[in-house]
């Protein structure tokens, strides 16, 4: 999808996302959105597109690192509970508790017993969240292996994106089929009426973002409060310049090619 077409289509969706934020704050709603998918699927881009339209004090992105030794000794879901939203908040999980059914399962980071326990407990954990009033959305972002390889190559060649390539990511390139089998088992065990999965084609990331955001907005009941025009009263005196006393002075403006 061409960038201009994407940006033109995204603008009204962002206005609606801002309206969803006002609605959540006014109603005390709690919204959780999980973003899952293969490496390079486009989770971060979709999350940022949503978060950019919302108040950062209200909308929180959660991307947890590798669990600590203490966290590995906890009930598996325990480390995620502190990040759940309070009234009026939206939480976007860049990967979530489904790590156990994905990367941990495929890469051998959990035992078979831990994996089986997760598949049994995840639907019950999510039922507790939904029964308590949390609006839970679970998205799987799909990407074909050929497109995935293009994105891996782009990351490897771009110094600004190389940080996205971890040793686990490099090993995952050879496990496309294994990740597919783990995904199918996960979806089969954790897709439910109270917490369904939604699949979104992300082979075209821009079109995928628009599709996902539109779906989210359409499935939040009465989820938008339009912005109200605000008129600023005139200043009571003349506008002042920002000045500093003592030795403090601003640095000179940046200029391209300046090798200071």
Ordered by where they begin, the domains of the chain are 3-218 (3.40.50.300)
More confident of the two residues 156 and 224: 156
Mean of the pLDDT values across residues 150-177? 87
CA distances from 118 to 76, 91, 92, 137 (A): 8, 22, 21, 19
Q: Residue 181 is inside which H or E element, if any?
A: helix 176-190
Among the residue ranges 109-113, 130-134, 211-215, 240-244, the one predicted with the least confidence is 240-244
Report the SS3 class of residue 136: strand
Report the SS3 class of residue 116: helix
Query: Per-residue confidence at 14, pLDDT binned at 50, 70, 90?
Result: very high
Mean of the pLDDT values across residues 186-196? 97
Please give the sequence-ordered ranges of beta strands (E in DSSP) within 129-248, or none if there are none.
135-142, 197-201
Mean of the pLDDT values across residues 109-123? 97
Q: Is residue 112's pLDDT more than 80? A: yes
**Gap between the Cα atoms of 122 and 128, Å rounded:** 10
Mean of the pLDDT values across residues 25-46? 96
- pLDDT (0 to 100) of residue 169: 79
Percent of the chain with pLDDT over 70: 98
Global pTM exceeds 0.75: yes
More confident of the two residues 257 and 113: 113
- Per-residue pLDDT of 55-76, as tens digits, reads 999 999 999 999 999 999 999 9
Q: Is residue 260's pLDDT more than 90? A: no
Mean of the pLDDT values across residues 3-28? 95
- pLDDT (0 to 100) of residue 170: 82
- Per-residue pLDDT of 200-247, as tens digits, reads 999 999 999 999 999 999 999 766 677 778 888 888 888 888 777 778
Compute the chain's Rg from CA coordinates.
22
- pLDDT (0 to 100) of residue 259: 64
Query: Per-residue confidence at 167, pLDDT binned at 50, 70, 90?
Result: confident
Query: What's the mean pLDDT when you consider all of the chain?
Result: 93
């Amino acid at each position: 999808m061409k960038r201009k077409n994407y940006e033109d289509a995204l603008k009204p969706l962002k206005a609606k996302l801002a309206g969803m934020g006002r609605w959540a704050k006014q109603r005390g709603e709690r919204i959780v959105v999980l973003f899952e998918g293969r490496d390079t699927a486009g989770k971060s881009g979709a999350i940022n597109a949503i978060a950019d339209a919302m108040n950062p004090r209200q909308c929180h992105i959660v991307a947890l690192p590798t669990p600590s030794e203490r966290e590995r000794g906890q009930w598996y879901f325990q480390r995620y509970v502190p990040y759940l939203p309070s009234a009026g908040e939206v939480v976007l999980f860049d990967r979530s508790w489904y790590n156990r059914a994905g990367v941990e399962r495929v890469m051998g980071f959990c035992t078979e017993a831990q994996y089986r326990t997760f598949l049994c407990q995840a639907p019950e954990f999510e039922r507790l969240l939904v029964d308590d009033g949390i609006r839970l959305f679970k998205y799987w972002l799909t990407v074909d292996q050929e497109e995935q390889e293009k994105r891996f190559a782009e990351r490897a060649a771009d110094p600004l994106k190389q940080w996205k390539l971890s040793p686990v990511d490099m090993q995952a390139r050879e496990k496309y089929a294994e990740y597919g089998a783990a995904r199918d088992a996960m979806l089969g065990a954790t897709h439910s009426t109270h917490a369904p999965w939604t699949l979104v084609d992300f082979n075209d990331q821009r079109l995928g973002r628009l599709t996902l955001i539109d779906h989210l907005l359409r499935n939040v009941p009465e989820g938008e409060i339009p912005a109200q025009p605000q008129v600023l009263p005139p200043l009571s005196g003349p506008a002042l310049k920002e000045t500093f006393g003592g030795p403090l002075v601003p640095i000179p403006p940046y200029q391209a090619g300046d090798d200071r």
